[in-house]
Structure 1
Amino acid sequence: MSHNRITHYDGLYGESNTRPATDYIFSESLETRSPTFDWIVKPHIHTRLYQLFFLKTGKVVFQDTNGSCDLDSPCLLCIPPSALHGLVYTPDTTGHILTIADSLIDAIFPSSSPALLTLSRLHRIEKQEDEQAFHEALTLFQKIDQEIFGDEPERQPMIRAYLAQLWIRLYRLIKNRNDVITTGQSPALAHFRHFQKLIKEARFPKSIPDFADDLNISAVHLNRICQSVVGKSALDLIQEHQIDEAKKYLRFTSYSISEIAFLLNFEYPNYFAKLFRKITGMSPKEFRESQ
């Protein structure tokens, strides 16, 4: 008996075996890749990416955990990491997509930020709700796009500044409207998203039961959630995070491999090296030399 899993991507839709950098941001017109998929984006999730869709013209059937609904342009879609979504566009649809690593947003806002918490849910924003605020959000879209593809100095700090403004503008637009149009996450996806945040904030060593206790669920339930969402165990996700942290040390510090292993609370450097190779396909030394 086969079991269908939710299709998930660490990177962009349709791209497998990609793990974006912690400061990843990508901008493209909606028309760039949609024809490649016959204007149909099947339901999926991005485990570590926010996506902002600006639909300028055309019509879209939007799908999420609650079913499907028709969207008329112009409108904005704010899709957080781990939110199931699919889209079917009419061929005359035009617009823009901004894709941002969750770690980049987390670096801008504290975890208790109302803007961050509000945009951790999926939202649809229509132009007629507040035309001026909608226009201001689109202007920030354009400024971010100009910085991404421009050649001015200090582009990264400017991109972060514009992202902070855009997040706050969207938060205020959502907060101030009378009829908030939102679609919720399933409890499983909400637990999964919370688990991702706990991993980032954890001081290891921390056991799977410890994480499960923080979520008020059992360890068995936590593993089932992880398997159903991304086809991986809770331990797999923890280890992937540890290796991501190791990559930072290997790239940006002169710590020895043994020192990095101990910094990440691996008892034995040999086990750290073995796990690193298992996940990345190369040894820590090979990874450092390739940078």
Structure 2
Amino acid sequence: MKNSQTDNSNETSPIPLFALYGESGAIEDPGFVHIENIFSRSSLHGWVIRPHRHGRMFQTICMYRGAVEVQLDETVHRLEHPCAITLPPGAVHGFRFAPDTEGRVLTLAEPMLTGEHYSRCAPYFAPLFERPHTFALEAPLLGQLQQLLEQIECELNRSDTGRALMCEWLSRAALMTLRRQLDQQGLASESGSTPSNTLVGFRRLIENHFREHWTIERYADALGTSPARLNRLCKRLLGKTAKTLPQERLLLEAKRRLIYTSSNLDEIAYALGFQDPAYFSRFFKRTTGVTAGRFRSDNNFDTTQESP
């Protein structure tokens, strides 16, 4: 049920980008929710889902029984049940499940999580959307999460009044349960407990414009604040300067393209907005300590399986 879709934010994405059903309008539905069991898709592909990413979808995989080897960008995690994996929009991920693994996959349209009624939720959900997480599911939150996912599935299979609203409420309850599990294990970042709408907006602008190499002054102007205030906010909540965030996003995209595509270094440099490939090479070496070529050879994952 997943189809490849063009990433309209830049050139056709060389990393597979998937949308549910392939319906261009469906993902814009602010009430869009989808749920399926792990078996229904993974078993059709030999329990292997090759690396891909979702442009405007948040996804969480809740595994009740079995094991999985999950690849998140250049890192591989080996997990056993019961556990959860959370994947914010844009995160590159691939799976190799143990046969007969059981669990559910909940997918939410990003517009549902950023709409006019989302502001009250943002302080709690921010840690889930900042980066991918892998963590154990523990009682009693495990049972609570299972029940919520079962209720979502039931709602999607019926046509009662208010079905879309019920799915939205249940989905947010599931996200809150995941956030509480992060808290119990000490995985929630400081920015989640002291959130800022400015910081959330900054991250969105970075996602849309990091290839354009915006200056911090331009980001600050778009946010209606000053560069100094934006920098203080990032230092207080994240422990890093404002300039560091777009550089980190640029580096992450460079790593993704080195690992998951066959593009040469010049092509990658131009795709990421560098006018001079030599400057891209210096940027990569300065920020990682290794050359781009060495990084590619050290992280040559097998991505030859058929896409889902």
What per-residue deviation string (whole Å, max 9, x for no partner) do you get for residues 54-97 of structure 1?
11222110111241121101211111111121111122212111
The 1:226/1:56 distance shift into structure 2, 3 A limit, reads closer
1:39 paired with 2:44, answer no
Give 2:218's match in structure 1, choosing from 194, 213, 220.
213
After TM superposition, the structure 1 = structure 2 runs for residues 120-269 of structure 1, keeping only pairs within 5 Å, are: 120=129, 121-127=131-137, 130-178=138-186, 180=187, 194-195=204-205, 209=214, 213-214=218-219
The aligned amino acid for 1:94 is E
The aligned amino acid for 1:116 is F
Give the ranges of 4+ consecutive aligned residues of structure 1 lying more than 3 Å apart after TM superposition: 15-19, 190-193, 196-199, 207-212, 220-234
The 1:222/1:62 distance shift into structure 2, 3 A limit, reads closer
The 1:196/1:18 distance shift into structure 2, 3 A limit, reads farther
Gap regions ≥5 residues in structure 1: 183-189, 200-206, 235-291
The aligned amino acid for 1:124 is T
What per-residue deviation string (whole Å, max 9, x for no partner) do you get for residues 142-193 of structure 1?
1111111122211111112112222222112212324x399xxxxxxx9996
Question: Equivalent residue of 2:114, what SS?
Answer: helix
Q: 2:178 & 2:253 partners in 1: Cα distance?
A: 32
1:29 paired with 2:37, answer yes
The aligned amino acid for 2:184 is N
What per-residue deviation string (whole Å, max 9, x for no partner) do you get for residues 204-246 of structure 1?
xxx98589831866xx989978986799989xxxxxxxxxxxx
Tell me if structure 2 keeps the 8 A contact 1:195–1:211.
no
Q: 2:213 & 2:23 partners in 1: Cα distance?
A: 26
The 1:226/1:119 distance shift into structure 2, 3 A limit, reads closer
Calculate percent identity across the aligned residue pairs: 20
TM-superposed CA distance for 1:26, in Å, is 1.1
The 1:226/1:214 distance shift into structure 2, 3 A limit, reads farther
Q: 1:7 & 1:191 partners in 2: Cα distance?
A: 26
Partner of 1:110: 119
The 1:212/1:6 distance shift into structure 2, 3 A limit, reads farther
Give the TM-score normalised by structure 1: 0.60
Gap regions ≥5 residues in structure 2: 1-12, 190-199, 221-241, 258-267, 273-308
Highest RCO, 1 vs 2 (Cα 8 Å, sep ≥ 6): 2
1:8 paired with 2:13, answer no
The aligned amino acid for 1:163 is S
Question: Equivalent residue of 2:155, what SS?
Answer: helix
Q: 2:252 & 2:63 partners in 1: Cα distance?
A: 32
Structural RMSD (CA)? 4.0
The aligned amino acid for 2:133 is H
TM-superposed CA distance for 1:43, in Å, is 1.5
Q: 1:156 & 1:223 partners in 2: Cα distance?
A: 34
Give 1:76's match in structure 2, choosing from 60, 84, 99.
84
The 1:131/1:164 distance shift into structure 2, 3 A limit, reads same
Question: Equivalent residue of 1:71, what SS?
Answer: strand
Tell me if structure 2 keeps the 8 A contact 1:123–1:181.
no
Q: 2:119 & 2:201 partners in 1: Cα distance?
A: 20
Question: Equivalent residue of 1:100, what SS?
Answer: strand
Q: 2:22 & 2:34 partners in 1: Cα distance?
A: 16
Q: 1:29 & 1:193 partners in 2: Cα distance?
A: 31
Tell me if structure 2 keeps the 8 A contact 1:125–1:181.
no
Question: Equivalent residue of 1:92, what SS?
Answer: coil
